[in-house]
Amino acid sequence: MPTTFLTGPDWQSSSGPIINRNVEENDCWPHSLTVAGKPVLADGQHMAFAIGPIANTPLAPVGVLVSFDTTSNRCILNVAPGFMFKAYVTNVTGYAGANTPNAWVANLNVGDPVYLDPSVVAGFAGTNLSRSAANDAAGVNPRCGYIMPDQDEDVDTGIGGANTDPFPKAFTDNTSTHELLVTVMLWPDMF
């Protein structure tokens, strides 16, 4: 269970497109400045974030954190639709109330929508993407993008080659919260 945001060099699943934008840390969410219970940002982390007040959901622009400067509190977010990145996605599809998931899916399939979810789930603080279109405060979550295969998962092509179709990808079960590290194609729903 991730308790911090994704780090490491292997976070990109495509080299582009790239449209980087500078954003102040306090204008991005969900993280510790904007949502209690989420991790503090640090350089080297790579997660999806919404831009602007949380009240703008679901029409908040969404980008992927490329870098964070702890001195200036400046985030650089790639906001280019079609960019592919790795992220933890939970199987949560609904909530009974604050911090209380009550519905889950068993699998992830290519093309499944993924939502930026500010809800805090015990043990999953470093995960802000879920399959739930609504958060635990009954607000509508902005769509972040769609599940896609990583380039090394493509059948008989790309880096891996000689692969079989890895989808659907199964969660541990569909009766409690779990996460999978998968590739998400950034494709926010802003209109």
Tell me what pLDDT residue 98 has: 92
**pLDDT one-digit tens code per residue, 130-180:** 999 999 999 999 999 999 998 777 776 655 566 777 899 999 999 999 999
Q: What are phi and psi of 10, to 5 degrees?
A: -100, 50
- Return d(Cα 156, Cα 11) in angstroms, integer: 22
**pLDDT one-digit tens code per residue, 45-104:** 999 999 999 888 888 999 999 999 999 999 999 999 999 999 999 999 999 999 999 999
pTM of the model: 0.92
Question: Structural domain boundaries of the chain?
Answer: 87-184
Length of the chain equals 191
Please list, in sequence order, all residues whose beta carbon lies within 8 angstroms of the beta carbon of residue 182, skipping any fewer than 6 positions away: 86, 87, 89, 108, 147, 150, 169
